[in-house]
Structure 1
């Protein structure tokens, strides 16, 4: 497949750029994240497959930025949504669906005592930060510096490579701590009056033994709120997220992505003594916690309940792990067979795999990533990551491994001449966080 095989997508991308800043509503979906001329615009999807405007079909990974973990158009989720649509979606008072969704969430994530729903991850991570500041009377937020994303709001974006428009006074209230290093984290807590520690309990690497428990102890000792960002780990690690998997309870946690299988729903959950500060049954100063017009749309909450039922009843988390293990094993085998096993590397928990593309000096390389992505797309695999959905079949995994083998053969050629340029077809893909386009 060359750029000329996607004329409708190319034309649609041009129209998108004329109307939508960046050409997409999420930077990670941007055209710059894909090889030049090979950024498909999607027509529709079913299960683990999507079709572009030009009629090509792809096995899709990382669907909806990891949110569509059950596959597109999952019948149980669609039916739950359909039942609510004719009953109204938003009212002047809470709907009984809100109560049912809260009860089901807290039964699924029993380490939490209260929950409040919103529409996206940034809503709830920022609410967690506000709540922690109010509860502690402190201003500084400590983020895990080894993890890529927490919020679109100023307290986080000001620390990235795209801080334009954010006052330095705000950025100065966010500090970093390294993942897995308790001594360095304690040093941060000593030097700053920290309201909360916020991190993904696990990501590309598993937490070192005792690390999360040690973090819990540090938070308690320094009077700091411990927040787990469970946007990715929620449901993919276990039905109760990383806190359910590792047995360490945070003060607050935030969920989204897989919770709605693509429908817009997120959740802030945590201890009653903290969450109730945003409520009406206390005598302390009130916290404007979350107040979103669309936070309790009935169809999205119905989707979330169907997702939770499906995960629990069908053992989806275990299936995601099994599919990911099959994929990781296959990719590592063919990469080794093609002589690029140290250059095309698969990392992360089996249910949340990413791949690295390394150059001749074993450094991460955007040009080699471009080469690899180009070969995947040409073979009918749309994979900015190898994050699986439960809709994948073993045949889909085997097909993906075959395409990866072909990509690795080209990768080997590029390594041999120490130049991927002849195989990338234009400019290289670019990192999301960069100061200039």
Structure 2
């Protein structure tokens, strides 16, 4: 039986010192079954170990930022060598030049790039630049999960406390008429969107249609490549689908977990934050740690790994095997309509429905609980290149046992008697309830 006593005590102390008990809402204990949120101490490949000594196969590693595996030696060695010669300087380094050359050789249509540390920094810089270019303030964002921690986006979510009203409007994915209505009805500085997601591949002609609408209405097109970059392809979704945005924002897997992000795009726009312009300058990005040597060295090592080892193919192979095993189990148990897996092979999500076919947090938590008991950690089945056939086989075996418990809950019509504690709750919500701290976490 998996025990979490030390993790529970560490989590309680984390709540005393850190708001929410984690530095990212998606990493919070409220995203896991109560008293079953492992606090980790190390990882190698796709395996992680918590402070109770439990070992797990991890999915969605580093919030989908780790595609090569934890402790991937070529990246670690490159970072160690770089930081041994210094981390931050008062002038640019040759490493900055080499990293920029690597990036621009990789990403189609990008003519300039600026590095930072967080994805939010780059998406907000893109919005600021688009507003300066167009003289407009409204931002149109696709109805997708997350783009930035800054006001222009968070003001539109379920946690807008402390944020004034924002001139941000939403539009649905894969609906060109609705996007045109949004663009025609107001002066829009930019359209911000993920070109694809785990659950939504672009219909034929859709991204080209978005590109045409932005051109017609004088709106800049910004692609968020945080997840698609280095997962769909090394050159991102724009490489896969052949549609080039005006600006694109990168992060996550480009450093295999090391902190680095990037804003890239057309020279005529990015140079407005530079010195080769007579126009009024844009305060684009100016960060102390954007060019630190560790992140840049990690990025360059990731580029080399992608060129030499084809991690995308390995992620997709693992995802296809996992999907096949999972779907065989749910079909055998007769619950394929309530417990499903969906998405691109390298970015699989599990979907948990109640007996009435409705998405259910209670049933999701039950499935998470049973996977954790069997050594599988993850809010998804998003794979990495480190997931071997043996890891997938072990995961499928865990899914078989977890799915059997899930079927029992479906047959009895609820999770009563099977789920221990309260269900998980949306990470971004207005109030701490229904997972306000209580009991062992106080």
TM class by shorter chain equals over 0.9
Question: What residue in structure 1 maps to residue 257 of structure 2?
Answer: 262
Q: CA deviation at 1:421?
A: 2.5
Alignment equivalent of 2:300, drawn from 305, 312, 336: 305
Is 1:151 aligned to 2:145, yes or no? no
Quote the Cα distance in structure 1 between the aligned partners of 2:265 and 2:323: 34
Alignment equivalent of 2:164, drawn from 163, 167, 182: 167
Alignment equivalent of 2:332, drawn from 319, 332, 337: 337
Deviation larger for 249-258 or 419-428: 419-428
Alignment equivalent of 1:402, drawn from 367, 379, 397: 397
**Equivalent residues of 1:338, 1:405 under 8 A apart:** no
**Equivalent residues of 1:117, 1:268 under 8 A apart:** yes
User: 1:160-191, CA deviations, whole angstroms, 9 ceiling, x for partnerless residues?
Assistant: 111111012xx2x0001110000010000011
Question: What residue in structure 2 maps to residue 128 of structure 1?
Answer: 126
Question: What residue in structure 2 maps to residue 389 of structure 1?
Answer: 384
Q: CA deviation at 1:213?
A: 0.4
**Equivalent residues of 1:367, 1:428 under 8 A apart:** yes
Question: What residue in structure 1 maps to residue 184 of structure 2?
Answer: 190
Q: CA deviation at 1:319?
A: 1.4
With normalisation by structure 1, the TM-score equals 0.98
**Equivalent residues of 1:226, 1:251 under 8 A apart:** yes
SS of aligned partner of 2:229: helix
Question: What residue in structure 2 maps to residue 181 of structure 1?
Answer: 175
**Equivalent residues of 2:108, 2:244 under 8 A apart:** no
Quote the Cα distance in structure 1 between the aligned partners of 2:225 and 2:351: 23
**Equivalent residues of 2:74, 2:301 under 8 A apart:** yes
**Equivalent residues of 1:143, 1:174 under 8 A apart:** yes
Write the mapping of 1:235-274 to structure 2, written as runs, cut at 5 A.
Answer: 235-274=230-269
Q: CA deviation at 1:432?
A: 0.8
Quote the Cα distance in structure 1 between the aligned partners of 2:241 and 2:364: 33
User: 1:35-72, CA deviations, whole angstroms, 9 ceiling, x for partnerless residues?
Assistant: 00000000100010000000000000001100011100
Question: What residue in structure 2 maps to residue 325 of structure 1?
Answer: 320
Aligned residues: 431
**Equivalent residues of 1:59, 1:382 under 8 A apart:** yes
Quote the Cα distance in structure 2 between the aligned partners of 1:319 and 1:7: 36
User: 1:87-138, CA deviations, whole angstroms, 9 ceiling, x for partnerless residues?
Assistant: 0000000011000000001111132110000001000000000010000100
Q: Structure 1 runs of 4+ off > 6 angstroms?
A: none
Question: What residue in structure 2 maps to residue 93 of structure 1?
Answer: 91
SS of aligned partner of 1:51: strand
Question: What residue in structure 1 maps to residue 29 of structure 2?
Answer: 31
SS of aligned partner of 2:162: coil
User: 1:379-408, CA deviations, whole angstroms, 9 ceiling, x for partnerless residues?
Assistant: 000011100010110010011011011111
Question: What residue in structure 1 maps to residue 55 of structure 2?
Answer: 57
**Equivalent residues of 2:315, 2:387 under 8 A apart:** no
Question: Where do 5+ consecutive residues of structure 2 fail to align?
Answer: 433-442
SS of aligned partner of 2:195: coil
Quote the Cα distance in structure 1 between the aligned partners of 2:39 and 2:75: 24
Question: What residue in structure 1 maps to residue 409 of structure 2?
Answer: 414
With normalisation by structure 2, the TM-score equals 0.97
**Equivalent residues of 1:104, 1:305 under 8 A apart:** yes
Question: What residue in structure 2 maps to residue 215 of structure 1?
Answer: 210
User: 1:198-233, CA deviations, whole angstroms, 9 ceiling, x for partnerless residues?
Assistant: 100000111011000000000111110000000000
Question: Where do 5+ consecutive residues of structure 1 fail to align?
Answer: none
Q: CA deviation at 1:340?
A: 1.3
SS of aligned partner of 2:182: helix
Quote the Cα distance in structure 2 between the aligned partners of 1:164 and 1:333: 45
Quote the Cα distance in structure 2 between the aligned partners of 1:422 and 1:207: 42
SS of aligned partner of 1:236: coil
Alignment equivalent of 1:278, drawn from 253, 273, 277: 273
SS of aligned partner of 1:65: helix
Quote the Cα distance in structure 2 between the aligned partners of 1:273 and 1:364: 46
Q: CA deviation at 1:331?
A: 1.0
SS of aligned partner of 1:311: helix
Quote the Cα distance in structure 1 between the aligned partners of 2:293 and 2:89: 9
Question: What residue in structure 1 maps to residue 139 of structure 2?
Answer: 141
Deviation larger for 305-314 or 234-243: 305-314
Deviation larger for 369-378 or 416-425: 416-425
